[in-house]
Amino acid sequence: MAAPVLQEATAPKRYRFTVEQYYQMSAAGILAPDERVELIEGEIIKMAAIGPTHSWLVDNLTRTVYRQIGDDVRLGVQNPIHLGLRSEPQPDLCVSRYYPGRRAHPTSEDIHFVVEVSDTTLDYDRNTKLPLYAAVGIAESWLFDVSTWTLERHTDPRDGVYQQIARAGRGESLASTTLPGITLAVDDLLR
């Protein structure tokens, strides 16, 4: 009797969704309208609940940026951005070009900068979302680390990594490199 032939072990493969399939699932009711999810590299990711500190900081950040922008800039708060065939993340804030009458999510070419407020999601934001933003060429991404009350400005994206990181703590501020008229002071965000 011949020895059984063993098949080579293979790892299970994940099915990666497209943005179009993601929207079809929503239209079909597979994803509830109020479900907090985003599409990252083809995977549907359940987003963390928005706690009171996170909400308060996003409101302060929105107010601070809104006061400094002009009419030719679009300010999106926790809205999707379209980053290719398989990604539609929802940064806490997105500052992009404004196109009157345009009804589409901003793309990487439109975006001046994005901001993530990280309280319970620091590892995910730092190791998943920021590399995604860098990979598609978003020139500037900001991260507010709630655990240390530190603001980080990530710039100079190359090969999925931001080459430059500037940090500011209490009593300090950072200016945008893509929109020089915008400066974020940590103390203003904590008022």
Q: Which fold has domain 49-189?
A: tt1808, chain A (3.90.1570)
Give the confidence band of 1 by pLDDT, cuts at 50, 70, 90. low
**What own/partner pairs with CB < 8 Å and gap ≥ 24 does 74-81 have?**
74/98, 74/99, 74/106, 74/110, 76/106, 79/105, 80/38, 80/105, 81/105, 81/106, 81/107, 81/108, 81/111, 81/114
Give the confidence band of 164 by pLDDT, cuts at 50, 70, 90. very high
The pTM for the full model equals 0.91
CA atoms within 13 A on the CB side of 83: 27
Could you tell me what percent of the chain has a pLDDT over 70? 98
Is residue 103's pLDDT more than 90?
Answer: no
Higher-scoring residue by pLDDT: 85, 7: 85
Looking at residue 150, its pLDDT comes to 97
